């Protein structure tokens, strides 16, 4: 059997061992307050009158989420919550963590169907798309990096950093996990980690070290 590949790079037999998505539903890791983040994002996009929603009305409608570029699907629980808050339902046609290759399927893949009132579909559209695009992008880059280090023979843990977009850390850390790398510490309170700036500020002979 030929080795699997990602972006043209051959993987070791068996591909990527131990992806987090193989061990359970990653949505169960999310804190309960993530729903308030999504409420805030929806309020940011429609803080007052929704004129477009007034025009289109409340007729029931289906919308389709399409993938047009190669990548790892990530961000499912965030999209689910966006539309749950708008009384819509989402039916997923692919599992989170799968590598989507639309070039092999006519240029695009329908990954989800959303059903609800037309105005509510459009209220959630941009928040949902921005979130899943960002999360999937992080997951795709994470998967590529873990593939590359495995091909190079590295068998340890590849971890992310705190260098995330302010206000979007939970989404991006979630994308790392879906992609297959360790999220490392989530914030400054997660572990004691003194770096070079701490050392320089206190002096190398400081008793604090």
Q: pLDDT (tens digit, 9 = 90+) per residue, 155-204?
A: 888 888 888 888 888 999 999 999 999 888 777 777 777 777 777 777 76
Of 18-22, 138-142, 168-172, the range with the lowest mean pLDDT is 18-22
Q: Is the pLDDT of residue 16 over 60?
A: no
Rounded distance between C-alpha atoms, residue 128 and residue 157, angstroms: 31
Of 6-15, 43-52, 81-90, 110-119, the range with the lowest mean pLDDT is 6-15
> What does residue 112 show for φ and ψ, rounded to 5 degrees?
-160, 155
pLDDT band at 11 (very low <50, low <70, confident <90, very high): very low
Q: Give yes or no: 163 in active site.
A: yes
Q: Which of 68, 163, 173, 195 is catalytic?
A: 163
Contact 78, 134 (CB under 8 A): no
Q: Is the pLDDT of residue 208 over 80?
A: no
Q: For residues 38-64, give the mean pLDDT.
A: 95
Rounded distance between C-alpha atoms, residue 145 and residue 64, angstroms: 30
Choose which CATH entry (3.40.50.740, 3.40.50.11540, 3.40.50.300, 3.90.1170.20) describes domain 16-202.
3.90.1170.20
Q: Where are the alpha helices (DSSP H) in 6-96?
A: 34-45, 51-56, 76-84
Whether pTM exceeds 0.85: no
């Amino acid at each position: 059997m030929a080795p699997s590949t990602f972006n043209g790079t051959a993987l070791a037999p068996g591909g990527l061992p131990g992806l987090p998505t193989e061990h359970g539903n990653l949505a169960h890791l999310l804190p309960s307050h993530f729903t308030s983040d999504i409420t805030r994002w929806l309020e940011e996009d429609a803080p007052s009158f929704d004129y477009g929603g007034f025009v289109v009305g409340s007729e029931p409608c289906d919308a389709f989420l399409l993938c047009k570029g190669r990548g790892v699907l990530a961000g499912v629980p965030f999209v689910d919550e966006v539309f749950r808050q708008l009384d819509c339902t989402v039916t997923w046609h692919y599992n989170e963590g799968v590598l989507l290759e639309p070039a092999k399927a006519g240029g695009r893949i329908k990954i989800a169907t959303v059903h609800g009132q037309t105005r509510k579909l459009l209220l959630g559209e941009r928040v949902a798309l921005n979130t899943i695009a960002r999360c999937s992008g992080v997951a795709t880059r994470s998967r590529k990096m873990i593939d590359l280090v495995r091909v190079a023979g590295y068998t340890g843990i590849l971890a992310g950093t705190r260098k995330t977009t302010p206000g979007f850390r939970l989404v991006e850390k979630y994308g790392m996990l879906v992609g297959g790398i360790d999220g490392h510490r989530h914030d400054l309170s997660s572990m004691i980690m003194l770096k070079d700036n701490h050392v320089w500020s206190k002096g190398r002979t400081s008793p604090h070290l």
